[in-house]
Structure 1
Amino acid sequence: MLQPRPLTLTAIAAACRDSLRLRFDYRTHDGTSSIRTTEPHRLVHAGRRWYLIGWDVERRDWRTYRVDRLDPRTPTGPRFTPRTPPDPDISGYTSRAISTSAYRYQARFTLHVSAETAAERIAPTTGALEPIDEHSCTLRAGSNSLDELAIYVTTKGFDFQVHEPLELVEHVRTLAARLAGATDQYRSRAGAAGVGRAHDDEASRPSRGTES
């Protein structure tokens, strides 16, 4: 895993502290490079990576940037008036941004375990957890694949319900039927074996009125 250089983290932290605009070269996941100008708000560490939360000046929206993919340009500036952050819970906002918002499908599940228990298996970079009560929580996760979402939540080992999107609800229903059908032949064999044993037991019993 690529780690940002200490000088990069220092430069970003200083720009956040002093409210100085920051220009940097940025590489997306597919290798596309561009120059971004942002009003940096805060550095957040999540899932062993550093992220910069900032207001993208050209795109006029809040964005989340992976720090290991950016190279700051100097000098920084000019100064800006800090904006109200997109969410008071910046850590939660970051988790949702990197695990859900960037994907085609944005899913919502109910897990029948506490948020603390779920967090032992679900990293903030792959899903955002919100407690419901002591025994259940909401999981929000994103992917470009319905199969990936279904497999992801199933393999965590928790009982769950899927609520949205509707495409995922239908997909999980189809997968459940397919998986159930994969074991039908064994259920049929087990049923036949049970019937056979019942006949054998009946045949071995002495008839009424017959001395044993």
Structure 2
Amino acid sequence: MSDAARLLRLLSLLQTPREWPGSELAVRLEVTTRTVRRDVDRLRDLGYPVEATLGVLGGYRLVAGAAMPPLLLDDEEAVAIAVGLRTASRQPVAGIAEASLRALAKLQQVLPPRLARRVASLTSATAAGAASSASLVDPAQLSVVAGAVNARERVRFTYVAQENVVSKRHVEPVQLVALDRRWYLLAFDVERDDWRIFRLDRVSSALATGARFAARAVPGGDATEYVTQRMYDTAPTYRARATLRLPVDLARARLGDFAGELTALDDGSCGWHSPEDTVEYLAFRLTSLGCEFTVDGPVEFVEHLRGLGERIRRSVE
């Protein structure tokens, strides 16, 4: 093994989050412990913060330093990071898209063709539309709130609710939840003495107060489930009207308990008046029928399908 290859192998071992005794490294690299010490010094000269501890339980480990040194990735790690960067580039956090795309460009430049094909295959199956610029979250606000959640520390911020109503809030932040391409904060509002859900893109001037709080029992026991249910409970609902290119019996079988009102028009088509639900769920049920259809209303549902169609078209171009 050449010196360069041995150095890369040593770096790869040290990136595993554990402490490596010098003797074990020597066996792995098929060298002496003296060579291991010399190679560790070379890594330090290259900017890798390798820490050494003495004693029977001592050894070497890679720790956090003042700068970000290059990392060695195996195939699975490289694919996971590439897919993650593509996903992050479409997330509603201001500035994250540009940084993710820069990092992705650097990674794709050195990806072997076999890994590039795997990344392309995975991302094509998980494509999503871009977030609206109106719902972008300030990363500084997100960081303050996330830190307060972890430290169980009260936060004050300015909040713009619906119809541009501005208020000052003093809350105990419990959980951040990403839902439908938006970030939400579940918190206990100290002044209103009740649970509240806040959209992070409407939060500004967030400040951790330093005051700690005791953990409260989340309604229902699960923060994510609570936020998800509340968001869907408050979402507007509609009844879709559509003509399905399916025989009425087949449409009824495919829709199951969501059949609503079905009317046979001829041997190969039927009219559908759906149960009441959100436009998102109506679109899911309609497009999963596996048939041609014509939507007659309401206008909110028609507009949602147009937007969905545009996002799908962009994702496959």
Q: TM-score, normalised by structure 1?
A: 0.49
Q: TM-score, normalised by structure 2?
A: 0.34
Larger fraction in helix: 2
